[in-house]
A and B are shown apart, each in its own frame.
Chain A
Amino acid sequence: MDPTQLRYSPTHEWLYLKDLTATVGISRFAVDQLTDLINIELPAVGTRLVRGKSFGEIESVKAVSDLYAPMSGEVTEVNTAVVDNVQLLADDPYELGWLIKLNVDDAAEFGELLDYEAYEKKLAEEAH
Chain B
Amino acid sequence: MAEPTLLKTPLFDWHQSHGGRIVEFGGWLMPVQYSTIVDEHQAVRQRVGVFDISHMGRLTFDGPGMLAWLERVTTNHVAKLNLDQIQYSLMANDQGGLIDDILVYRHQYGYYLVCNASNRPAVLAQLEQHRRGAVGNFHDHTRETAMIAVQGPGALATVQPLFDQPLEPVKYYHLTLGRLLGDVNAVVSRTGYTGEDGYELIVPANQAERVWNAILDSGQSQGILPCGLGARDTLRFEAAMPLYGHELSEAINPFAALVGWAVKLDKGDFIGRESLRGWKRNPGQTRVGLRLEGKRIARQGTTVLDSDRAVGTVTSGTFSPTLQSSLAMALVEPSLSLVSTPLTLDVRGHREPARVVELPFYRRSPHSQK
Contacts and interface: CB of A to CB of B under 8 A. Distances in A.
Interface of A: 35-36, 38-39, 59, 61-62, 64
Contacts of B348: 64
Q: How large is the interface on B (under 10, 10 to 19, 20 to 34, 35 or more residues)?
A: 10 to 19
B319 interface: yes
A39 B37 CA distance: 15
B297 A36 contact: no
Contacts, number: 31
A39 B36 CA distance: 16
Nearest to B23: A62
Interface of B: 32-33, 36-38, 230, 234, 295-297, 299, 318-319, 321, 326, 348
Contacts of A59: 295-297
Contacts of B326: 38
Given A35-B33, A38-B319, A61 B38 contact: yes
Contacts of A62: 32, 37, 230
B296 A61 contact: no
Contacts of B296: 39, 59
B178 to A, nearest CB: 37
27 contacts: A35-B33, A35-B36, A35-B37, A36-B36, A36-B37, A36-B319, A38-B295, A38-B297, A38-B319, A38-B326, A39-B296, A39-B297, A59-B295, A59-B296, A59-B297, A61-B37, A61-B230, A61-B234, A61-B318, A61-B319, A61-B321, A62-B32, A62-B37, A62-B230, A64-B297, A64-B299, A64-B348
A36 B36 CA distance: 6
Q: Taking each of B230, B297, B321, B326, which has the highest tally of chain A beta carbons within 10 Å of its own beta carbon?
A: B297
Nearest to A40: B295
A64 B301 CA distance: 14
A73 to B, nearest CB: 24
